[in-house]
Protein backbone atom coordinates (compact mmCIF):
# COMPACT_ATOMS: atom_id res chain seq x y z
CA UNK A 1 0.00 0.00 0.00
CA UNK A 2 2.84 2.36 0.86
CA UNK A 3 4.52 1.73 -2.48
CA UNK A 4 1.26 2.53 -4.26
CA UNK A 5 0.97 5.83 -2.35
CA UNK A 6 4.52 6.72 -3.32
CA UNK A 7 3.90 5.91 -6.97
CA UNK A 8 0.75 8.02 -6.97
CA UNK A 9 2.56 10.93 -5.31
CA UNK A 10 5.40 10.74 -7.83
CA UNK A 11 2.97 10.48 -10.74
CA UNK A 12 1.12 13.56 -9.52
CA UNK A 13 4.38 15.48 -9.31
CA UNK A 14 5.51 14.42 -12.78
CA UNK A 15 2.18 15.14 -14.44
CA UNK A 16 2.17 18.84 -13.60
CA UNK A 17 5.87 19.71 -13.61
CA UNK A 18 8.67 19.96 -16.07
CA UNK A 19 12.07 19.04 -14.71
CA UNK A 20 15.47 20.28 -15.79
CA UNK A 21 19.03 20.37 -14.54
CA UNK A 22 21.01 23.60 -14.86
CA UNK A 23 24.63 23.76 -15.97
CA UNK A 24 25.79 23.84 -12.34
CA UNK A 25 23.95 20.56 -11.62
CA UNK A 26 21.02 22.05 -9.69
CA UNK A 27 17.68 20.38 -10.34
CA UNK A 28 14.69 22.60 -11.11
CA UNK A 29 10.97 21.96 -11.42
CA UNK A 30 8.51 24.26 -13.20
CA UNK A 31 4.75 24.00 -12.99
CA UNK A 32 3.11 23.38 -16.34
CA UNK A 33 -0.11 25.13 -17.40
CA UNK A 34 -3.33 23.36 -16.44
CA UNK A 35 -4.77 20.84 -18.90
CA UNK A 36 -7.50 21.94 -21.30
CA UNK A 37 -10.89 22.07 -19.61
CA UNK A 38 -9.47 22.58 -16.11
CA UNK A 39 -11.57 24.84 -13.92
CA UNK A 40 -9.66 27.50 -12.01
CA UNK A 41 -10.52 28.01 -8.36
CA UNK A 42 -10.71 31.64 -7.36
CA UNK A 43 -9.69 33.32 -4.13
CA UNK A 44 -13.26 33.04 -2.79
CA UNK A 45 -13.11 29.24 -3.06
CA UNK A 46 -9.76 29.18 -1.26
CA UNK A 47 -11.14 31.42 1.52
CA UNK A 48 -14.13 29.08 1.87
CA UNK A 49 -11.68 26.22 2.48
CA UNK A 50 -10.34 28.08 5.52
CA UNK A 51 -13.69 27.88 7.34
CA UNK A 52 -13.34 25.05 9.83
CA UNK A 53 -15.76 22.20 9.13
CA UNK A 54 -16.93 19.68 11.69
CA UNK A 55 -14.04 18.02 13.45
CA UNK A 56 -12.60 14.80 12.05
CA UNK A 57 -10.74 12.26 14.12
CA UNK A 58 -7.00 12.38 14.74
CA UNK A 59 -6.79 9.09 12.83
CA UNK A 60 -8.10 10.84 9.68
CA UNK A 61 -5.37 13.49 9.99
CA UNK A 62 -2.63 10.93 10.58
CA UNK A 63 -3.86 8.80 7.69
CA UNK A 64 -4.10 11.81 5.37
CA UNK A 65 -0.60 12.95 6.31
CA UNK A 66 0.76 9.45 5.71
CA UNK A 67 -1.00 9.13 2.34
CA UNK A 68 -0.39 12.61 0.91
CA UNK A 69 2.50 14.22 2.79
CA UNK A 70 4.93 11.67 4.24
CA UNK A 71 6.44 10.66 0.88
CA UNK A 72 8.09 14.09 0.76
CA UNK A 73 7.99 15.37 4.35
CA UNK A 74 8.75 12.10 6.15
CA UNK A 75 6.71 10.37 8.85
CA UNK A 76 7.53 13.03 11.47
CA UNK A 77 7.73 16.01 9.08
CA UNK A 78 11.53 16.24 9.19
CA UNK A 79 11.90 16.57 5.41
CA UNK A 80 13.34 13.08 5.08
CA UNK A 81 10.68 11.45 2.88
CA UNK A 82 11.50 8.74 0.38
CA UNK A 83 11.21 10.98 -2.69
CA UNK A 84 14.51 12.73 -1.96
CA UNK A 85 16.22 9.44 -2.78
CA UNK A 86 14.82 9.83 -6.30
CA UNK A 87 16.14 13.34 -6.92
CA UNK A 88 13.31 15.56 -5.76
CA UNK A 89 14.23 18.59 -3.68
CA UNK A 90 14.28 18.03 0.07
CA UNK A 91 11.54 20.06 1.79
CA UNK A 92 12.32 22.09 4.88
CA UNK A 93 11.46 20.27 8.09
CA UNK A 94 7.96 21.19 9.22
CA UNK A 95 9.45 21.96 12.65
CA UNK A 96 11.12 25.02 11.07
CA UNK A 97 8.01 26.54 9.45
CA UNK A 98 4.77 28.15 10.62
CA UNK A 99 2.53 25.20 11.51
CA UNK A 100 -0.60 27.15 12.31
CA UNK A 101 -3.71 25.46 10.90
CA UNK A 102 -4.53 28.38 8.57
CA UNK A 103 -1.01 28.38 7.08
CA UNK A 104 -0.92 24.58 6.72
CA UNK A 105 -4.32 24.56 5.01
CA UNK A 106 -3.29 27.37 2.66
CA UNK A 107 -0.13 25.47 1.66
CA UNK A 108 -2.03 22.22 1.12
CA UNK A 109 -4.68 24.07 -0.92
CA UNK A 110 -2.44 26.29 -3.07
CA UNK A 111 0.93 24.55 -2.91
CA UNK A 112 4.20 26.26 -2.06
CA UNK A 113 7.41 26.47 -4.06
CA UNK A 114 7.83 22.99 -5.60
CA UNK A 115 4.86 21.51 -3.71
CA UNK A 116 1.84 21.23 -5.98
CA UNK A 117 -1.65 22.30 -4.89
CA UNK A 118 -3.56 19.41 -3.33
CA UNK A 119 -7.04 21.00 -3.31
CA UNK A 120 -8.23 18.53 -5.94
CA UNK A 121 -7.07 15.49 -3.96
CA UNK A 122 -7.81 16.46 -0.34
CA UNK A 123 -11.20 17.72 0.84
CA UNK A 124 -11.36 20.83 3.06
CA UNK A 125 -12.37 18.71 6.07
CA UNK A 126 -9.41 16.38 5.51
CA UNK A 127 -7.10 19.42 5.20
CA UNK A 128 -8.22 20.56 8.64
CA UNK A 129 -7.54 17.09 10.05
CA UNK A 130 -4.08 17.02 8.43
CA UNK A 131 -3.35 20.54 9.73
CA UNK A 132 -4.22 19.40 13.26
CA UNK A 133 -1.91 16.40 12.82
CA UNK A 134 0.94 18.64 11.57
CA UNK A 135 0.49 20.91 14.61
CA UNK A 136 0.90 17.82 16.86
CA UNK A 137 4.14 16.62 15.21
CA UNK A 138 7.15 16.58 17.56
CA UNK A 139 9.31 19.69 17.58
Q: Does residue 8 have a pLDDT over 50? A: no
- Could you give the CA distance from residue 83 to residue 87 in angstroms, rounded to a whole number? 7
Q: Does an H or E element contain 2, and which?
A: helix 2-16
Q: Could you read off the pLDDT of 64-104 as tens digits, one per residue?
A: 999 999 999 999 999 999 999 999 889 999 999 998 888 99
Per the confidence metrics, is the pTM higher than 0.85? no
Structure-derived torsion over alpha carbons of residues 64, 69, 71, 76, reported in degrees to the nearest 10:
-90
**Mean pLDDT estimate for the chain:** 78
Amino acid sequence: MRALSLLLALAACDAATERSVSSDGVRHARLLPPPPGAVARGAAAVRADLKQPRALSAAVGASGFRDFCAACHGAEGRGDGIVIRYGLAQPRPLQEVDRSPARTIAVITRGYRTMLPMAGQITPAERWAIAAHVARLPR
